[in-house]
């Protein structure tokens, strides 16, 4: 008797960026799992300006497999960063459920993929696979601060390896915002059922990020804090209070000097100190305000979310 396969159409959106060392084991495992469990599926590989042979290895792998019209290689027009690149792949996906793989490095049992899928089909709209221990200290600090300052609007987010998202969740998020600055935060706060599944890592890898990737991640972290948390608002208030207290202290010092017996150079030092601190505080707050305005303008008026060089059907 022929084994029944899942009837849902699933899309696999995979981010590739200089990952030739890990791409073939990932392709072999994922291809076998899809063939064994799904009657209809597709692969969308988002090539974010890789400088190695990652894209070539993908082409060669599927040329040997001989599948038709189920594999797409999306070549970005220069480095876009993981969020913009994945957004391009998700926009192209047509599946009822979409697997999103931010990395091709496998540190989990492949059976976890189907476990995640069944949980989503059972009623969750977003299910993420999360390692029990964060991959880096900075990553752990970022998520800890974010979850503490996000206002409890949804499920906590973590350093996930991959996730599955229902078509309903994709439509909900697209209706919420024009551009998607950070998928995890929007998925967690969209109001639909979300679940994190923690797993024990089967192996580890020392991730090395290029300078351009690190700069992109830092910018993403700053934008995420500005848009989805109150940490910048509280930080600005704290700085304002510090400058206010400093101004009061300088004012007290000026009164002591003015009414005291000893008269140094008349008023020059406290006046300069007060003006320097005051202007520094004002310009710092202006910088934060300008950052917010830039984010708002980008979210509202920028229509081009990403740049695509070419789309290849393998």
CATH number at residue 27: 3.90.550.10
Same domain, 20 and 135: yes
Same domain, 203 and 238: no
Same domain, 69 and 140: yes
Average pLDDT, the chain: 80
Q: What is the pTM of this model?
A: 0.74
Same domain, 191 and 82: yes
Count of structural domains within the chain: 2
> In this model, does residue 254 exceed pLDDT 90?
no
Q: Is the dihedral of CA 73, 75, 80, 81 positive or negative?
A: positive
Cβ proximity of 159 and 131 under 8 Å? yes
Same domain, 28 and 79: yes
Distance CA 277, CA 246 (A): 8
Same domain, 166 and 286: no
Cβ proximity of 124 and 81 under 8 Å? no
Same domain, 137 and 179: yes
Same domain, 199 and 269: no
pLDDT digits 0-9 by tens, 135-182: 677 777 776 777 677 765 556 767 788 999 999 999 988 887 766 677
pLDDT digits 0-9 by tens, 82-130: 888 998 999 999 999 999 999 999 999 999 999 999 999 999 999 999 9
Q: For residue 270, what are the domain limits?
A: 231-301
pLDDT of residue 1: 38
Same domain, 190 and 291: no
Distance CA 110, CA 106 (A): 8
Backbone angles phi, psi at 58, to 5 degrees: -65, -45
In a domain, 223, yes or no: no
Same domain, 125 and 247: no
């Amino acid at each position: 008797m022929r084994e029944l396969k899942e009837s849902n159409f699933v899309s696999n959106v995979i981010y590739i960026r200089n990952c030739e060392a890990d791409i073939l084991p990932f392709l072999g495992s994922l291809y076998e799992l899809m063939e064994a469990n799904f009657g209809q599926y597709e692969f969308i590989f988002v090539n974010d300006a890789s400088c190695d042979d990652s894209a070539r290895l993908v082409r060669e792998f599927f040329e040997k497999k001989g599948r038709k019209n189920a594999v797409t290689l999306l070549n970005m027009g220069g480095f876009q960063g993981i969020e913009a690149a994945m957004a391009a792949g998700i926009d192209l996906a047509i599946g009822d459920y979409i697997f999103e793989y931010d990395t091709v490095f496998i540190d989990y049992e492949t059976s976890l993929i189907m476990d995640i899928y069944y949980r989503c089909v059972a009623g969750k709209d977003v299910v993420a696979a999360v390692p029990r221990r964060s991959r880096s200290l900075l990553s752990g600090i970022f998520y800890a601060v974010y979850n503490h300052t996000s206002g409890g609007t949804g499920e906590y987010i973590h350093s996930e390896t991959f996730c599955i998202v229902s078509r309903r969740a994709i439509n909900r998020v697209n209706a919420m915002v024009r551009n998607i600055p950070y998928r995890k935060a929007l998925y967690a706060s969209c109001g639909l059922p979300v679940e994190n599944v923690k797993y024990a890592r089967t192996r580890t890898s020392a991730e090395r990020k290029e300078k351009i990737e690190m700069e992109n991640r830092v910018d993403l972290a700053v934008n995420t804090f500005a848009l989805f948390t109150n940490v910048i608002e509280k930080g600005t208030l704290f700085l304002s209070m510090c400058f206010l207290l400093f101004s009061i202290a300088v004012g007290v010092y000026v009164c002591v000097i003015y009414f005291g017996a000893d008269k140094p150079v008349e008023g020059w030092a406290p006046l300069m100190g007060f003006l320097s601190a005051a202007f520094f505080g004002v310009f710092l707050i202006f910088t934060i305000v300008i950052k917010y305005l830039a984010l708002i303008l980008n979210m509202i008026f920028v229509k081009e979310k990403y740049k695509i060089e070419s789309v290849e059907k393998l």
